[in-house]
A and B are shown apart, each in its own frame.
Chain A
Amino acid sequence: MGIVIAVISGKGGVGKTTATANLGLGIATNDEKVILVDFDIGQRNLDMILGLENRVVYDMVQVMDAEVGVNQAIIKSKVNDNLHFLAASQTKDKTVLSSQKVKHLLDALKEEYDYIILDAPAGIESGYEHTIEFADAAIIVVNPEVSSIRDADRAIGILDSKSQKVKEGGDVHKYLVINRIVPEMVQNGEMLNSQDILEILNIKLLGKIPEDKGVIDASNQGKPIILDEKSIAGQAYKRISGRICGKKIDFVDIEAVNKGLLKKFAGIFK
């Protein structure tokens, strides 16, 4: 029986879809069966970032409406056999979703996969609500900036009030991923530091990802950055994936490590 993880952010453009693709691949390399489901109906992106856009034949809405079988619509990743993907519909809109349809789909996927990762749409509308409704856990992706934090806070609030698990008296596990950290800016006080963010959001930290120029190119190429061994963002995704799979991986303090390096350089020039 698999677990359902919703990747949410509230605000758009913080790297939710990129995180979904990379974490999916990362978990798959840990020998777990993963399926990524794009819940951003009407604005599907995940297929491109995974490099699978030309493989999409059927989408998730067609599966939910029982036009096609779930196995017909699922696409296997080119790079990892454990990774599977279910595309969003590009032509329909969020209103086609209903709680019953979503539950039915997720129940079917839970039988087959260890991890069902849902890429939530930006915003807090019905599409978002359907993504989190049956989630067991949520990964909240934020950027170290106030607007992202506020939107994430709002998204967490909705998660805490609308999720099925909470309604049944349970608790949805919430984990924070801080994306696009620029260490120099944090040190100069121009960017929120992770301590402040954790204090505001009050959830567990899953990992921090430094800003990495390679991410955009990787997305354009359809090859998630986690495949690039040298990339600092890729390494961060690897660590986070390991943590999701229950491995004990120490936190690398991106903000502090670079501070040390800077000091070293400063020492050289003295």
Chain B
Amino acid sequence: MKGKQYSVKVYETTMDDENKFLSFFDANHLLFKDRLIVIHGSISEKVKKFLEEKSLKYILNLELPSSRSTQEVEKERENRAKLEEEEQRLAQERQLLMEEKISRLSDRLQNNLTVLDEMVRSGRELNIDGDLLLLNRVNSGATINIKGNLIITQVVEGDIRCYGNFMMLINSPKANIIFHDVRVDNDLLDEKLNRIELKDDEIVITPVLKKEITWVS
């Protein structure tokens, strides 16, 4: 099968008054030479003959895809504008929510988070003003001094001094943990992650289940 595609200009009209139709096409037939005329209604033999004489291409009662009225277009534009406005408002809300969350998070994580994934070996001393997230062991004989918050995901066997709002540690029987100048009893630490925080001048230790490790609610 072979096919070709054309883009044709179409003139759509209705057959109400035969005489008017004839006089109109008689005067303007040259304009319609390369167009397709779609006529709604029925045509008489006379009209048919006339169109063939002027070699005008026509087709009867063809349902063309309806074109949109200007009113509709206007309505649509309005709708779109409304949608955009709504979207903008939502985005703004989301932004505000995010900022709020961040500010809430940074209340807890004070400032300058340092993330370290290296073993802290014996004899090494880490002094950090901000927060620290440590993803490796702290060996016996190593010292960590933190002014901010501290999270360590591996076993600690060294000395830890933390002055932040909170500290998160796993069970570390050999560690020497000092939180705000108070020694934390190793036996109070659960196998899993523990949150050690200061609440009304009292040190509170709460075991944290894995699914609860979310600081942003």
Question: Nearest CB to that of B154 among chain A residues?
Answer: A199
Q: A149-B140, A153-B121, A200-B157 are in contact. List 15 more A-B contacts (CB 8 A).
A: A146-B140, A150-B141, A153-B122, A153-B139, A153-B140, A154-B122, A156-B121, A157-B121, A157-B122, A157-B123, A157-B124, A160-B121, A199-B137, A200-B140, A202-B137
Q: Which A residues are within 8 Å of any B CB, using their own CB?
A: 124, 146, 149-151, 153-154, 156-158, 160, 199-200, 202
Could you tell me how many residues of chain B have their Cβ less than 8 Å away from some Cβ of chain A? 10
Residue of A153, A160, A199, A202 near B141 (CB, 8 A) is A153
Chain B residues near A124 (CB-CB < 8 A): 123
A–B Cβ pairs within 8 angstroms, 27 of them:
A124-B123, A146-B140, A150-B122, A150-B139, A150-B140, A150-B141, A151-B122, A153-B121, A153-B122, A153-B123, A153-B139, A153-B141, A154-B121, A154-B122, A154-B123, A154-B141, A157-B122, A157-B123, A157-B124, A158-B123, A199-B137, A200-B137, A200-B139, A200-B140, A200-B157, A202-B119, A202-B137
A153, A154, A156, A160, most chain B CB atoms within 10 A: A153
Q: DSSP majority for the B interface?
A: loop
Task: Give Cα A156–Cα B141 distance, bound, in whole angstroms.
Answer: 13
Task: Give Cα A240–Cα B124 distance, bound, in whole angstroms.
Answer: 31
Question: Nearest CB to that of A149 among chain B residues?
Answer: B140
Beta-carbon contacts under 8 Å, B150-191 to A: 157
Task: Give Cα A157–Cα B137 distance, bound, in whole angstroms.
Answer: 13
Task: Give Cα A200–Cα B140 distance, bound, in whole angstroms.
Answer: 9
Question: Nearest CB to that of A10 among chain B residues?
Answer: B122
Beta-carbon contacts under 8 Å, B51-79 to A: none
Task: Give Cα A199–Cα B119 distance, bound, in whole angstroms.
Answer: 11
Chain A residues near B123 (CB-CB < 8 A): 124, 153-154, 157-158
B123, B124, B157, most chain A CB atoms within 10 A: B123
Chain B residues near A157 (CB-CB < 8 A): 121-124
Question: Nearest CB to that of A158 among chain B residues?
Answer: B123
Chain B residues near A146 (CB-CB < 8 A): 140
Closest chain-B Cβ to A179's Cβ sits at a distance in Å of 19
Question: Nearest CB to that of A124 among chain B residues?
Answer: B123
Task: Give Cα A153–Cα B124 distance, bound, in whole angstroms.
Answer: 10
Closest chain-A Cβ to B159's Cβ sits at a distance in Å of 13
Task: Give Cα A33–Cα B28 distance, bound, in whole angstroms.
Answer: 109
> Which 9 residue pairs spanning A and B have beta carbons closest together?
A157-B121, A153-B122, A154-B122, A154-B123, A150-B140, A153-B121, A150-B141, A153-B139, A150-B122
Question: Nearest CB to that of A161 among chain B residues?
Answer: B124
Task: Give Cα A151–Cα B139 distance, bound, in whole angstroms.
Answer: 11
Chain A residues near B141 (CB-CB < 8 A): 150, 153-154
Question: Nearest CB to that of A147 among chain B residues?
Answer: B140
Task: Give Cα A153–Cα B137 distance, bound, in whole angstroms.
Answer: 12
Beta-carbon contacts under 8 Å, B113-160 to A: 119, 121-124, 137, 139-141, 157
Task: Give Cα A146–Cα B139 distance, bound, in whole angstroms.
Answer: 11
Question: Nearest CB to that of A159 among chain B residues?
Answer: B121
Task: Give Cα A150–Cα B137 distance, bound, in whole angstroms.
Answer: 13
Closest chain-A Cβ to B143's Cβ sits at a distance in Å of 12
Task: Give Cα A164–Cα B95 distance, bound, in whole angstroms.
Answer: 50
Task: Give Cα A151–Cα B121 distance, bound, in whole angstroms.
Answer: 10
Question: Nearest CB to that of A200 among chain B residues?
Answer: B139
Closest chain-A Cβ to B136's Cβ sits at a distance in Å of 8
Chain A residues near B122 (CB-CB < 8 A): 150-151, 153-154, 157
Task: Give Cα A160–Cα B119 distance, bound, in whole angstroms.
Answer: 11
Task: Give Cα A202–Cα B122 distance, bound, in whole angstroms.
Answer: 13
Task: Give Cα A158–Cα B139 distance, bound, in whole angstroms.
Answer: 14
